[in-house]
Amino acid sequence: MSQSIYDVIILGAGASGLLCAFTAAQRGRSVLVIEKANKVGKKILMSGGGKCNFTNYFVEATNFISNNPHFCKAALNRYTQWDFIALVEKYGIEYEEREHGQLFCKNSAKEILAMLLDECEQAGVKIETDCNLTEIKALTSAQKITNHYQINLEQKQSKLTLSCQSLVVATGALSIPSLGGSGLGYEIAHQFDIAVTKRQAGLVPFMFSDYMKPICDHLSGLALKATVHCNHQQFTENILFTHRGLSGPAILQISNYWSPGDEISINLLPDLEAAEWLILSKRKQGKSLLKTVLSHKLAKPLVNELQTLWWQDHSETPLAEFSDKQLIVIGNLINKWSVKPSATEGYRTAEVTLGGVSTDEISSKTMESKHQPSLYFIGEVLDVTGHLGGYNFQWAWSSGYSAGMFV
């Protein structure tokens, strides 16, 4: 590293850090991005199954979870999904819309990372990898001439001291340590007495320790459309049985609203009043077994598991011999199956971290700390978490841009 004084130093070369970097550099600021890993943008490359769900056609504040639900609005309005789509189109990156307005690359997430790096290069951003940050000091007024922060780090056995006017924390959050998940942002917040809210793994599969454990194991790989409810929230998308428990988009979405000890309720036939339909089927197909009738709507292995749970003693009883009352009970269970996860899979597989640097402490316009001048927090380190569907990247782009315009 030849230069040691910069206008802006950004910690973390992920989604928010890279967008912030070129935005600031395009304004003529000298920008250095410091990355601890050997490669930049690892989560971008892994995202969306390698196709990066980079934004969504429908972005609203209600797609985000935060102690302050209004905080995200200014940044989302300042840099919208349309701004990012325009950039993607400028680079000729082919993309496609999937369910619920989700936009994915047609070819590869690599194209999104290459685009961000190209913008950085054109704007003159410097990026350094393999950096181990050892100390951050805010220079006191007497020491301060133009630079507000001094940063000590080690890079391949060399010790370096750098300084900058604006310091941006874009180090992401705790999810998936092997992809750069880190608590550095919270440590920096603590160092400067900036509050951090309670954190929890989000967009994460559930595990079970009760009767559900063998059921999930037997049904591992089976997916179906369901509506999942918890704490007054509901999502209708696929659920997926895995050998560890339950996953799939609807489960990941509801995990953001789940707390340990909560039950979740699963509607296995969201488009049907199951009790009514079973009573009607009894009139029409009275000689059939319940499992035969249900197998027209649900996968056979699932029906077999439900039979063991709910009508094992009547497995050979023709439908006509079930009372309406019995069918109402079974129908209601199908529309409202209450299960109690023992835990989530945790940060090892979580796509995001709920909670983070308190939005009370940060300007929603600039992302600057309200009490610690020229210190900025962007992206997932903040207490703003998006639903599944490209919202977390949109937050990274929008918050990165907002800070990039002011650093």
Minimum distance of ligand FAD from residue 222's CB (angstroms)? 22
Q: Does 37 engage in binding with ligand FAD (CB under 6 A)?
A: yes
Residue range at the interface with ligand FAD (CB under 6 A); choices 48-56, 233-241, 263-271, 283-291: 48-56
Task: Please say which residue, 205 or 331, places its beta carbon nearer to ligand FAD.
Answer: 205
Dihedral of CA 120/124/130/135: which sign? negative
Decide: 31 and 6 in contact? Cβ < 8 Å. yes
Binding residues for ligand FAD, how many (CB under 6 A)?
A: 39
Residue in 167, 172, 200, 208 binding ligand FAD, rule: CB under 6 A: 172
User: Which range touches ligand FAD (CB under 6 A), out of 14-22, 140-148, 282-290, 335-343?
Assistant: 14-22
- ∠ CA 61-67-68, rounded to 5°: 50
Q: Any contact of residue 403 with ligand FAD (CB under 6 A)? A: no
Residue reference for tokens 């990039």: 404
Distance, in Å, from the CA atom of 310 to the CA atom of 340, rounded to the nearest integer, reads 17
* Beta-bridge mates of residue 297: none
Largest Cα–Cα separation, the chain: 90
Q: For the segment 305-364, give every residue that binds ligand FAD (CB under 6 A).
A: 351-352
Report the residue from 8, 9, 10, 11 that binds ligand FAD according to the rule CB under 6 A: 11
Residue 297 CB, nearest approach to ligand FAD (Å):
31
> Does 291 participate in binding ligand FAD (rule CB under 6 A)?
no
Q: CB 117 → ligand FAD: shortest distance, Å?
A: 13
The reply on whether position 179 binds ligand FAD by CB under 6 A is yes
- CB nearer to ligand FAD: give 302 or 381: 381
User: Residue holding tokens 């049904």?
Assistant: 219
Q: Scanning residues 373 to 402, which ones bind ligand FAD (CB under 6 A)?
A: 379-381, 390-393, 396
**How far apart are the two ends of the chain, measured CA to CA in Å?**
22
The length of the chain is: 407
Assess 404 for contact with ligand FAD (CB under 6 A): no
- 3-state per-residue secondary structure call for 59-108: CCHHHEECCCCCCHHHHHHHCCHHHHHHHHHHCCCCEEECHHHEEEECCC
Q: Where does this chain touch ligand FAD (CB under 6 A) — which range of 35-43, 211-219, 220-228, 239-247?
A: 35-43
Planar angle of CA 235, 241, 244, nearest 5 degrees: 115
Tokens standing for 350?
């979580």
What is the SS3 assignment for 363? Answer: coil
Is beta strand 375-377 parallel, antiparallel or unpaired with respect to 158-169?
parallel
Q: Contacting ligand FAD (CB under 6 A), which of 8, 12, 248, 367?
A: 12
Interaction site with ligand FAD (CB under 6 A): 11-17, 34-37, 42-43, 46-48, 52-53, 131, 133, 170-172, 175-176, 179-180, 182, 184, 351-352, 379-381, 390-393, 396
